[in-house]
A and B are shown apart, each in its own frame.
Chain A
Amino acid sequence: MTEKIPELGGEYKYGFKDDIKPIYTTGEGLTEEIVRKISEAKNEPEWMLDFRLKAYETYKNLSMPDFGPDLSPLDFEHINYFRRDSEGVARDWDEVPEEIKKTFDRLGVPQAERKYLAGSSAQYESEVVYHNMREDFDKLGIVFMDTDSAVKEYPELVKKYFGKLVSPSDNKMAALNSAVWSGGSFIYVPKNVKVNVPIQSYFRINAGNSGQFERTLIIVDEGASINYVEGCTAPNYSKDSLHAAVVEVYCLKDSYCRYTTIQNWSDNVYSLETKRARALENATMEWVDGNLGSKVTMKYPSVYLDGKGARGTMLSIAFAGKDIDSDTGARMIHNAPNTTSSIVSKSLCKDGGRVDYRGHVRFGRKSDGSFAHVECDTIIMDDKSASDTIPYNEILNGNVSMEHEAKVSKISEEQLYYLMSRGIPEEKATEMIVMGFVEPFTKELPMEYAVELNRLINYQMEGSVG
């Protein structure tokens, strides 16, 4: 521990940091030279360097988003875009550098793997430091590795899918990620292979003013299924860090993917992510997305329903406390007949936090017989906090149907009175109501995550009754 950790009301328990000297870093700021250095450090093939350089040009030409939270404090000149802290990806915890291992031990990462996971990886700053897959799943032909390794080991798959769903020109942060990306998970599930236990990745930013630009690519082949879970934390620094991930998920015919994220960044992280999935005929894509912490979050996972009968769902919670601006939502793009989508968004804000829902549902011309359901529920816990619901619907086909419900409320006096009339103190009663409110979300999580999430919300709730 080198710096004293600023107090966050004692709430954020992942705020510790470790004194780790990088083996290699490109230093602060970004130039074409640095993009080349990143590629060189990874010993990449020429085609990936070309992709990066083109993306870098695009990045320079694009402007920042003209909606949502204020991003002006982000100092792009002083971000460290790449740092390497380990010699390579370990398959065994014993090979992970001691200090890094300590960090993940404290986060409970290896313990979780032993208990209930099919596979697990851990990314520290820019690169993945640990990766393992249970042998029985390995034998089924499932590929699970860091994306850097996949570029070398599965170039054909990567070339076919990488950057096809989220092109660098999609938005400025996607362009930046495409130029400097490092780490992330690559998963390929072969035809008809079903993985019923979760595969987990853990992302950790440890240094201050650094950027994490992981790139995740998941391909679920026909009739296959996968359940992927990711968790994210960072220490508290006075300087802001940037997390700009790109995630692309391909669900081929009749396949199933659930992608669960529990993001619990410290309150100095800007999390600006682009997550997108494509679901082909009768495929199902489910996003389960929990956002706590971070200074600013902008994230709108989407599903392109491109095959008939495809299904897309988004279930999210966002909890914005003091100084937090959470601008999240989902996008469901119906491009084929009889596709269905569901967005259920639950938000809470307190102590001056701001939590907005921003959603987009589009019914394309070929979306006959499609259906979308959008439900936004918000609890504003005090007068200092605020919330908006910003839905945007585009309907280009007359033969579709859509439901939209939005509800913004305070903690109900009637509910509070009822619980208290049984002797339950106000603070505990408030917590019960909030826990009940997020229950539809937590019940979808793997048990360990549900327990952890409840604990995190409890921390956030502490002292909420004055």
Chain B
Amino acid sequence: MSTLEIKDLHVTIEGKEILKGVNLTMKTGEIHAIMGPNGTGKSTLSESIMGNPAYKITQGDVLLDGESLLDKPVDERARLGLFLAMQYPAEIPGVTNAEFIRGAINARRPKEDPISIRKFLKELSKIMNFLDMTDEMAERYLNEGFSGGEKKRNEILQMMMIKPKFAILDEIDSGLDIDALKVVSKGVNEMRGSEFSALIITHYQRLLNYIVPDVVHVMMGGKIVKTGGPELAKKLEDEGYAGLRDELGLDIKLTDENA
């Protein structure tokens, strides 16, 4: 079993403090969800855990099995078992999807022992099939010209091929129709098990009907303000973020709130 621990995390972007002390502990085998209104720092949290150099950590720590990740670059964190399904994956012309995923797998293996091409293609084809992706998606250039839904599916494909210990899914449901949402959820559910943990970041409760979390956190104003079970998500759906804020007596202005 592995543990990912976020301790009193403070993060600044362009001089502005976005995260103001986030605490969160996840163990493999658990699915966590973070819900929260726009502009509350959910994406900042995921990018900071992954190690995006654009985000500056001013205080606190991120620990994997007790070891701090803060001085490790993003590629090393990935090889240690972290994965981030991005909200806006980069497009890379000239590099095929298959070539890229194989590169990612081989980065985790000794140089003299790369995965056999046959074995790789077999596995890739199996998972693409599972995610209702056509074979030609393997030979297309990475994310180039992919629709929003194709990009999200492709993130899940990578996750299933790489098999991380901790996957952060940053608004994997945004811009997805119901069919794509089901496919993406199917992928995450397939990964569920004692060796896998996911942190699902979303605005909406809808996704959590398909991927039922063990723990739900609510984030507002750069902090986790409430933690509970799946019923917390349902309550939010009924009462809204403003309702919860008022109940908790927090002095936070929500971005989308009318003045």
Closest to A443 in B: B94
Q: Mark B92-108, 1 if CB is under 8 A from A, else 0.
A: 11110001110110011
* Complex alpha-carbon distance, A419 and B52, angstroms: 12
Would A421 and B78 count as touching, CB distance under 8 A?
yes
- Nearest CB in chain B: distance from A347 CB, A: 15
Assembled-state Cα–Cα distance A108/B73 (Å): 42
Asked if residues A417 and B107 are in contact (CB atoms below 8 Å), the reply is no
Contacts of B233 in A (CB 8 A): none
* Interface: B132 (CB within 8 A): no
User: Could you tell me the distance in whole angstroms from the C-beta of A428 to the nearest C-beta in chain B?
Assistant: 7
Complex: A420 Cα to B94 Cα, angstroms: 17
**Within 8 Å CB of B99, what residues of A?**
432
Complex Cα distance, B149 from A191, in Å, reads 52
- Is residue B84 within 8 Å, beta carbon to beta carbon, of the partner chain? yes
Q: A422-B158, A423-B104, A424-B75 are in contact. Are A417 and B95 (CB under 8 A)?
A: no
Majority SS at the chain B contact face: mixed
In contact, A426 and B94 (Cβ under 8 angstroms):
no
Q: Give which listed residue, A424, A436, A438, contacts B104 with CB less than 8 A.
A: A424
Q: In the complex the two chains form, is B93's CB within 8 Å of A439's CB?
A: yes
0/1 string, B129-168, CB within 8 A of A gives 1:
0000000000001100000000000000010001000000
> Is there an interface contact between B92 and A438, defined as CB atoms closer than 8 Å?
no
Q: Which residues of B contact A420 (CB under 8 A)?
A: 73-75, 78
Report if A445 contacts B (CB, 8 A). Answer: no
Q: Complex: how many Å from CA A420 to CA B95?
A: 14
A414, A424, A437: the one contacting B93 at CB < 8 Å is: A437
A428-B94 in contact (CB<8A): no
Q: What's the Cα separation between A428 and B108 when bound, in Å?
A: 13
Decide: A422 and B104 in contact? CB cutoff 8 A.
yes
B20 within 8 A of A: no
The answer to whether B162 and A423 touch across the interface, beta carbons within 8 angstroms, is yes
What CA separation (Å) do A100 and B93 show in the bound complex? 42
Instruction: Assess whether A421 is in contact with B92, with CB atoms less than 8 Å apart.
Output: no
Across the interface, do A415 and B75 meet the contact criterion of CB distance under 8 Å? no
Q: Does A440 contact B (CB under 8 A)?
A: yes
Say yes or no for A48: interface residue by CB 8 A criterion: no
Chain B residues, Cβ within 8 Å of A437: 93-94
Cβ-based interface call for B207 (8 A): no
Q: Which residues of A contact B93 (CB under 8 A)?
A: 436-437, 439
A residues 381-399 near B (Cβ < 8 Å) are: none
| B50, B86, B90, B108, most chain A CB atoms within 10 A | B90
Which residues does chain B contribute within 8 Å of A432, judged by CB atoms?
92, 95, 99-100, 103
Nearest CB in chain A to that of B108: its residue: A423
Tell yes or no: A433 within 8 A of B by CB: yes
Q: Contacts A426-B73, A426-B75 known; A419 to B100 CB distance under 8 Å? A: yes
Judge if A418 is at the interface, Cβ distance under 8 Å: yes
In this complex, what residue of A is CB-closest to B89?
A418
| Interface status of B15 (Cβ within 8 A of chain A) | no
Min CB gap B150→A, angstroms: 16
Chain B residues near A422 (CB, 8 Å)?
75, 78, 83, 100-101, 103-104, 107, 158, 162
CA distance A439 to B139 in the complex (A): 13
11 contacts between A and B (CB under 8 A): A412-B90, A414-B90, A415-B92, A419-B92, A420-B78, A422-B158, A423-B104, A424-B75, A426-B73, A433-B92, A436-B93
Question: Given contacts A426-B75, A432-B103, could you give 13 more A-B pairs where the C-beta distance is less than 8 Å?
Answer: A415-B92, A417-B74, A419-B90, A419-B100, A420-B75, A422-B75, A422-B162, A423-B78, A426-B73, A428-B103, A432-B95, A437-B93, A438-B94
